[in-house]
Structure 1
């Protein structure tokens, strides 16, 4: 007979539903009460009498820290491979930090995902015309050259302003409602990934956002960013479209509450006004922290983003 079978079951406490509810709300341990109801059943008057008499309440259980799952040890992993069949490259501090933060995020932040397809033909035409209007510098290079990602950052920032319920950060004690939309932009650098922040992106022009992203990305690759330039923010954009990725889901970077994963724009057959037509479609996926952003709120945020991308003149209003 095993140890579990030898353990005596806990004595059953007989109490009315109302008495149980009152005791639970008051933090009162029913096992400490004597029932005055039929067959010793604990009833409402027993709970109220105990509370009036100052009976000690049951102490709340201690809050235990969330345990994070640990990856298998290096030795455990090495045994699956032949000796001399691989080169072992020690992790630098950046890779260790990325591994730790993403593991904590996926284990402690309840993610959910929403995706939508955006028609971007009007955006591509606007971008083409805007870039064509750039005057030439002395060396013949255009004074500015915006990317689709610059417009995506601006659209997300404005969408968050239109949906302030999503422009938030969760804390255990309260929700932080932000006035500005500070948007992170994922930048691949040797050995890792960093997300510099475009502050007050909703108030900046697309050209200003473009110039700032280029400057931040260049200093990120040189590892010259200061902590305040990549910490914080309310949302982020991760764009893998230039690598041919059609769609994907990104991991939220706390304390941010959302991240928008952007795929490539490509010609696809759609139905418009009952007839098949070809349009340039870009798929995006919004990852949301369910503690801060509910499903309907996330859907409305994504709808606002889609509207701005498909009618891009709104980005200049």
Structure 2
């Protein structure tokens, strides 16, 4: 019996992906463990392995196709002893990648009325009478974007409005359902979708957003809307840390390890979180999650966006171990090869822009975390040392805290502890 090869969910939150490249062709024999394709998620490009043995009878989704929903049949495998040409015609034609899934279509056919029907104008293009025919997915997206379904012409079966019909529709227009029926509206925490950019006659070129950039925009908007940020800044003298770094690197040279200042700051933040556990938390509405270890997400800039590989249990690891892991994770991030467990999670984040000469900045919290440390450049500044004015190497560090989860006094204690660890860094190697 032919085996349907379906678009896999390569992470817990993946709903769709891009079929970047096929590694097999029709007629190729495959066995369990063989690489079949490269699939782009919103964060990385991952390899998809075969589970079954057989012959690739038909490839249904061509490489380079965007927005392929999880569960969509992308190829057919003829089992052992089966005729590949016969298997090729067995499955039903695959739906276009952007079409709704079979389950959504069945839901749309459910005769149960919508909980809050949208009043339609006299000539509703999407259906007859006062009932607007739209799939549940289209209704949800319309509510989130502020689109009046009564103004949309459906292209689905029987004139039903489907997801694709909403593309390019004006947002923020009259949306009676959202105003008159709060129960059917999008949750208050859902960030508003950005509208089309006005054309002012300026020469320009529009580039389609990647899945990563869409995810970054959604998560940062959600963070700033949901989490009331409080910012706390300290100036930290780096001379002792830089001296210790030089000594450690001299001893680690034979092992091919070279500590960066950022490696040492990752360790300092992890130890500070262990000493101030009230900041190593996440806010969950009616619960507060207290973490038992400090997993530090480290912001890494890659082509097209930003990703945060994680140093797990950084407080218990040596700085040489942190340095080795960070080098490996950063390389994988820039190649788009990080696995979901290597960038999903973390209990707090650190973002260092000092290498670009940025003196001070505030960072946006990475939900569901409750804090992020923003590191500025170390620079020579006038500084009071032992009650005398001197020249010292100083950096500014700014902590962003979710005020729902972390009180200002606790955030201040974390910043104080972080400063003490960096200024007296022998505590990081104890």
Determine which of 224, 241, 249 is the counterpart of 2:354. 241
Between the aligned partners of 2:201 and 2:344, the Cα distance in structure 1 is 38
Aligned length: 248
| Pairing 1:281-300 to 2, within 5 Å after superposition | 281-300=394-413
Residue 237 of structure 2: aligned partner? 119
Determine which of 103, 111, 120 is the counterpart of 2:221. 103
Residue 186 of structure 1: aligned partner? 299
| Pairing 1:1-317 to 2, within 5 Å after superposition | 65-66=187-188, 68-74=190-196, 77-82=197-202, 85-136=203-254, 143-317=256-430
**Local SS of the residue matching 1:264:** coil
What is the CA-CA distance between 1:169 and the residue it aligns to?
Answer: 1.1
> Which has more helix, going by share of residues?
1
What is the CA-CA distance between 1:73 and the residue it aligns to?
Answer: 2.2
Q: Which has the higher contact order (CA 8 A, sep 6+)?
A: 1
**Local SS of the residue matching 2:395:** strand
1:164-216 CA deviation, whole Å, 9 max, x = no partner?
11111111121111111000000000000000111100010001111111111
What is the CA-CA distance between 1:236 and the residue it aligns to?
Answer: 0.6
Structure with the greater alpha carbon radius of gyration? 1
Between the aligned partners of 2:415 and 2:403, the Cα distance in structure 1 is 15
What is the CA-CA distance between 1:254 and the residue it aligns to?
Answer: 0.5
Between the aligned partners of 2:257 and 2:401, the Cα distance in structure 1 is 33
Between the aligned partners of 1:255 and 1:292, the Cα distance in structure 2 is 11
Q: Is the 8 A contact 2:189 2:226 kept in 1?
A: no
1:95-119 CA deviation, whole Å, 9 max, x = no partner?
0110111011111111110000000
What is the CA-CA distance between 1:89 and the residue it aligns to?
Answer: 1.1
Q: Is the 8 A contact 2:378 2:394 kept in 1?
A: yes
What is the CA-CA distance between 1:88 and the residue it aligns to?
Answer: 1.4
Between the aligned partners of 1:283 and 1:63, the Cα distance in structure 2 is 46
What is the CA-CA distance between 1:63 and the residue it aligns to?
Answer: 11
**Local SS of the residue matching 1:291:** coil
**Local SS of the residue matching 2:376:** strand
**Local SS of the residue matching 2:391:** strand
Between the aligned partners of 1:101 and 1:279, the Cα distance in structure 2 is 38
What is the CA-CA distance between 1:68 and the residue it aligns to?
Answer: 4.2
- Could you tell me which runs of 5 or more consecutive residues in structure 1 were left unpaired when the two chains were aligned: 1-60, 137-141
Task: List, as ranges, runs of 4+ consecutive aligned residues in structure 1 with deviation greater than 4 Å.
Answer: 61-64
Q: Is the 8 A contact 2:380 2:391 kept in 1?
A: yes
- Could you tell me which runs of 5 or more consecutive residues in structure 2 were left unpaired when the two chains were aligned: 1-181
Structure 1 residues 174 and 315 mapped into 2: Cα distance closer, same or farther (>3 Å)? same
Q: Over aligned residue pairs, what C-alpha RMSD do you find? A: 1.7
Between the aligned partners of 1:134 and 1:235, the Cα distance in structure 2 is 28
TM-score (norm 2): 0.56
